Amino acid sequence: MDYLLATSQGLARQLDGCMAHDAEYNHGLSDHLPMLLHSMHALGATESRLQEYASSYVTRLEPRRVIPVDTDDWLALRGQLDAYHALSAMFAQRIAVAERDCVLRDALPHLMPGVGAGAFHGLIRCGHALAARHDGELANGLAYWAAAWLPLMPSADADEVRRPLPSPSLDLASWARCAHDLRTALDTGQPRITLRMKAWSAAPQFPVLAFALCANDDTLRDIARFAATVYAQTGNFTVMHMVTSAHALLTLGPWFDDLKLATRWFGVALLAALRAARLTRQQIDTSLVTMNEADAISALPVLPWNELAAAAIASDDDHAAKIVYSSRALFEMYGDAAFHAAATQGMLTQTRPD
């Protein structure tokens, strides 16, 4: 099974049906259906199971709002959820004319400064759409990323992609350990991930520390390993999104002219998410030690991959198939047992909608 490029006509039909829904429902929850359908399909679900799951899930969704919006300057529409339909139509038209590769290379650098959009679900949705090779869903993913755009730096405006970033100074371990140095007077106990991320980004130390992460060819892989190890050891709901978003960014990697720069912008959102996860210093330290000790990684509990896939397909949980799919894909890419442990944790920990 090719876990990175799994698609079929049956999956395409199901994703076609997702075009009728708005990107969010119930005052800010992300529509997970297209991501779940692709994940379940990649793990081996039958078309009848996809149909069964979709029929149940759509009852919570809201119809797409068709609001006329001028998209000539689409960058000015970033962060405006009312522009979702118009942005989706614009991206679909651009993909049809200029093709997928050109549209991705043009749009992605402008989206990365707000990569935390929808608790990373704009990015994650694009990763699934690209793997499914479904241009309509890719247009939806790009549109949601733009409409829910979450800039966490004061200068993350339309010209930011052309400005040099401050010089980095910290490796991943040092950077992650510094997360607890952040202090803010804002409410960091809010229920939604994005609200907590925004609160932590207001910390006076945030702009300096967020850009302090050094990025090289291996940093994105190491971020994925770190997040997977933390998730395997804690089952933390926010950290699960760090795993799946790291996988999504790796999937989109070939379409970035400067993946190191994209990784640095990803780090900005990850720092906010790391604090939003409410992890203790000890949990971060323990995971940083564990990820570099083969025996410690091997000691983490794992279930057979076929059992994990079957359980994820049968589950009605909003995240089970996604974390198992991404963890399996990352395991196929790197062969690291931390990803197997993360997939197992994903089935042991029943999550909630976000």
Helix-helix angle 320-334:33-42, to 10 degrees: 50
Interhelix angle 135-147/100-111, rounded to 10 degrees, is: 20
Q: How many whole angstroms separate alpha carbon 105 and alpha carbon 34?
A: 23
Q: Report pLDDT digits (tens) over 261-282.
A: 999 999 999 999 999 999 999 9
Average pLDDT estimate for 278-304:
96
pLDDT at site 353: 47
Query: Smallest Cα–Cα separation from 35: which of 344, 326, 327, 346?
Result: 326
Burial 266-281 (b: 16+ CB within 10 A, else e): bbbbbbbbbbbbebee
Quick: pLDDT tens for 314-353.
Answer: 999 999 999 999 999 999 999 999 999 999 999 988 654 4
Query: Residue 317: what pLDDT?
Result: 94
For the question of whether the overall pTM of this predicted structure is more than 0.85, the answer is yes
And the tokens for 77? 């529409």
Q: What is the pLDDT of residue 349?
A: 80
Quick one: pLDDT at residue 1?
44
pLDDT band at 166 (very low <50, low <70, confident <90, very high): confident
DSSP string, 166-180: PPP-B-HHHHHHGGG
Q: pLDDT over 90 for what percent of the chain? A: 91
273 and 241 in contact (C-beta within 8 Å)? yes
Q: Is the pLDDT of residue 162 over 70?
A: no
How many C-beta neighbours within 10 Å does residue 152 have? 24
Distance between CA 191 and CA 342 in Å, rounded? Answer: 23
Question: Residue type for 52, please?
Answer: E
